[in-house]
């Protein structure tokens, strides 16, 4: 029996596909951090939900019309910011026995935020 991974096809520009792949990597790293932490359930649950939401939101945003797409990416960016903050809280509480994984997750969250910023930017018409 072989393992099959199904991915939602992304039908727009390459940048969106790259962001989606980074979001999937963030979800994987966050799952490892959650497994290795002794933090309160509330923090673990919120972190887990936010990481899954990012990948889902990016998948949905790629299907929106341009104006709505930017709005959707701004919402994703807010969720990624939440993830970064939760990872910072875990770091300050020293709530994981895998600090390398926590550092990697923080790095990927920062990278994802940087990649989302141009996609979420409001473009205005020249005056």
Tell whether the model's pLDDT for residue 11 goes beyond 50: no
According to the model, what pLDDT value does residue 109 have?
96
Contact 20/62 with Cβ under 8 angstroms? yes
* Percent of the chain whose predicted confidence (pLDDT) is above 70: 82
Which of helix, strand or coil describes residue 42?
Answer: helix
pTM, full prediction: 0.80
- Of 22, 52, 55, 56, which Cα lies nearest the Cα of 34? 52
According to the model, what pLDDT value does residue 12 have?
42
Lowest-pLDDT range of 15-24, 27-36, 64-73, 105-114: 15-24
For the chain, what are the domain ranges? 14-119
Element at 30 (helix H, strand E): helix 14-36
* CATH code, residues 14-119: 1.20.1440.60
- Of 89, 113, 103, which Cα lies nearest the Cα of 39? 89
């Amino acid at each position: 029996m072989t393992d099959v991974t199904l991915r939602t096809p992304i039908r727009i520009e390459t940048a969106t596909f790259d962001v989606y792949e980074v979001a999937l990597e963030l979800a994987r790293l966050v799952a490892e951090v959650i497994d290795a932490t002794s933090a309160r359930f509330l923090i673990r649950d919120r972190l887990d939900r936010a990481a899954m939401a990012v990948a889902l939101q990016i998948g949905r945003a790629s299907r929106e019309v341009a104006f709505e797409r930017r709005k959707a990416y701004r919402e994703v960016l807010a969720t990624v910011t939440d993830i970064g903050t939760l990872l910072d809280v875990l770091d300050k509480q020293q709530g994981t026995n895998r600090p390398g994984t926590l550092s990697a997750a923080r790095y990927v969250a920062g990278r994802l935020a940087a990649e989302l910023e141009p996609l979420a930017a409001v473009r205005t018409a020249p005056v």
